[in-house]
Amino acid sequence: MPHNKLLILFQLLMALGLIFVFSSFVYSSEPPINNTYLAKDDSLCAPLSPSTGTIVHVSTVSELQNAVNTAVANTTILIADGTYQLNGVYLRIDEPSVSLRSASGNREAVILDGNYQTTEIIQVVRSNITIADITLREAYNHPIHVMSTDAGGDVLNTLIYNVHIIDPGEQAIKINVAGTDVYPDDGVIACSRIELTDVGRPFIRNNCYTGGIDAHQSRNWHIRDNHIEGFWCDSGLSEHAVHFWRGSRDTLVERNNLVDNARGIGFGLTTSATSTRVFPNACPAAGNTFVDHYEAVARNNFISADDADLFNSNSGFDCGICIWNACGVEAYHNTVASTQAPYSSIEWRFDNTETEIYNNLVTHNLRDRGGQSTVSGNLENQSLSLFVNVATGDLHLNSSATQAIDQASVLASITDDYDGALRPYGLAPDIGADEYGTQSTEPPIDFDEWIYLPITIR
């Protein structure tokens, strides 16, 4: 009787098609030659939540200008798909809690074009402003300018998200003070693409007065998961892809891809200034002397240079990470790779600089130009063959990068990598921004390789 029950159960399973065998279901367990199939965790740049509050739809330049000029708090302005020729029109958001977004959520479908006639496309002078899902191009000065004013007070909680900025006349995003004892703090710039192209480079003026993100006297900004490319000039030295200085503090720069910029990440710059923000006792070793940036973190960033025209320019590739007169700076697990030598892959300079340089992977040099530094676990002068494709800014590790894989010491503050994947994957973390193999190295099961047994039901 038990055998009959088993036979009946077996036939039922057969009828349901749940018994099968594999044909050719044998595949290599070896990892692929690289991990190019890895991608950033989608949750890092997920679409923003749907708009709430008062919703205003616009589809012309005049409607857009009027909507911004008459906006009240808790208003979202949704822009219809199309190209908007501003030709001098600018948008000054001077009420708090206003959002400016594309209606479709597709940043490439909504283009606000200044045609180098609009000085600044968007000015932010109040708190809790969101700019998202749009493209800005060809501002004469800054496509986005965040500034604290006497009239508006501190400007807090600016969010710039999924924005594409093309060919600014000066810095793409400017953050600074335009008042007394009021500051632009607590902002986020994320999941955006900022670029200066060969078409826009001839429009740069004033000895290459340009750059990606340039912030003065700004505290607690988070710059993450952006792509910034092409900020250099034939003559003159561009500012950095990301630069915080003039008394900025608590800046976090992580998981960005910075490609073919004259300078990558900068904390601090000068040794004196007449207009700056001071944080007493933030850097005890400096005493009462001038510090240009207080406390910053650069981690898990890709920084690369391959453009022959950049290398042949007057200033070339100056530095990947530049720490000048800045105290309390942590440069952890970054990768800096270039096909020709920079002045420095990572450098620190001036007496008041205090920095920790840990677990970075660079193709060239770390340069000590003064100050106090703790340097540990870095790999210098490494081959380009360690990386998937430096020419395209893909600095993921190849499987052959054994000198970096599982070779880093554990840092408590580093729990993920450039892609947002958890560290460590193997016995120890990898040196540099990428954690090799942080997703399964097994190829996915191909259901086309399965053979299902025929079923006969009696």
Residues 112 and 14 in one domain: no
Q: Which residue ranges in the chain fall short of pLDDT 50?
A: 1-38, 439-458
Residues 87 and 14 in one domain: no
Residues 146 and 268 in one domain: yes
Neighbours of 343 (CB within 10 A): 16
Q: Strands 122-124, 155-156: parallel, antiparallel or unpaired by DSSP?
A: unpaired
Residues 158 and 118 in one domain: yes
Q: Which helix (H) or strand (E) holds 69?
A: helix 61-70
Residues 137 and 13 in one domain: no
Residues 335 and 458 in one domain: no
Do residues 126 and 154 lie in contact, with contact meaning Cβ atoms separated by under 8 Å?
no
Does some domain include residue 400? yes
| pLDDT the model gives residue 39 | 62
Total count of residues recorded for the chain: 458
List, in order, residues 6 or more apart from 188 with CB less than 8 Å away.
158, 159, 160, 161, 221, 222, 223, 224
Q: What are phi and psi of 2, to 5 degrees?
A: -55, -35
Residues 57 and 72 in one domain: yes
Domain encompassing residue 17: 1-27+447-458
Does some domain include residue 34? no
Alpha carbon distance 165, 162 (integer Å): 10
Does some domain include residue 404? yes
Residue 454: cis peptide before it, omega within 30 degrees of 0: no
| pLDDT the model gives residue 17 | 39
| pLDDT the model gives residue 6 | 38
Does some domain include residue 413? yes
CA atoms within 13 A on the CB side of 159: 16
- Residue 303's closest CA among 319, 285, 280, 323? 319
Residues 112 and 164 in one domain: yes
Residues 66 and 115 in one domain: yes
Which amino acid makes up residue 448? D
Residues 163 and 201 in one domain: yes
Alpha carbon distance 135, 162 (integer Å): 9
Look at the chain and report how many structural domains it folds into.
2
Residues 290 and 415 in one domain: yes
For the chain, how far is it from start to end, CA to CA, in angstroms? 19
Does some domain include residue 33? no
Burial of 180 per CB tally in 10 Å (0-12, 13-18, 19+):
exposed
- As beta bridge partners, residue 178 has 149
Report the CATH number at residue 176: 2.160.20.10
> What string of DSSP letters covers 168-186?
-SSEEEEEEEESSS--EES
| pLDDT the model gives residue 229 | 98
Residues 148 and 18 in one domain: no
Note the pLDDT tens digit of each residue in 316-341. 999 999 999 999 999 999 999 999 99
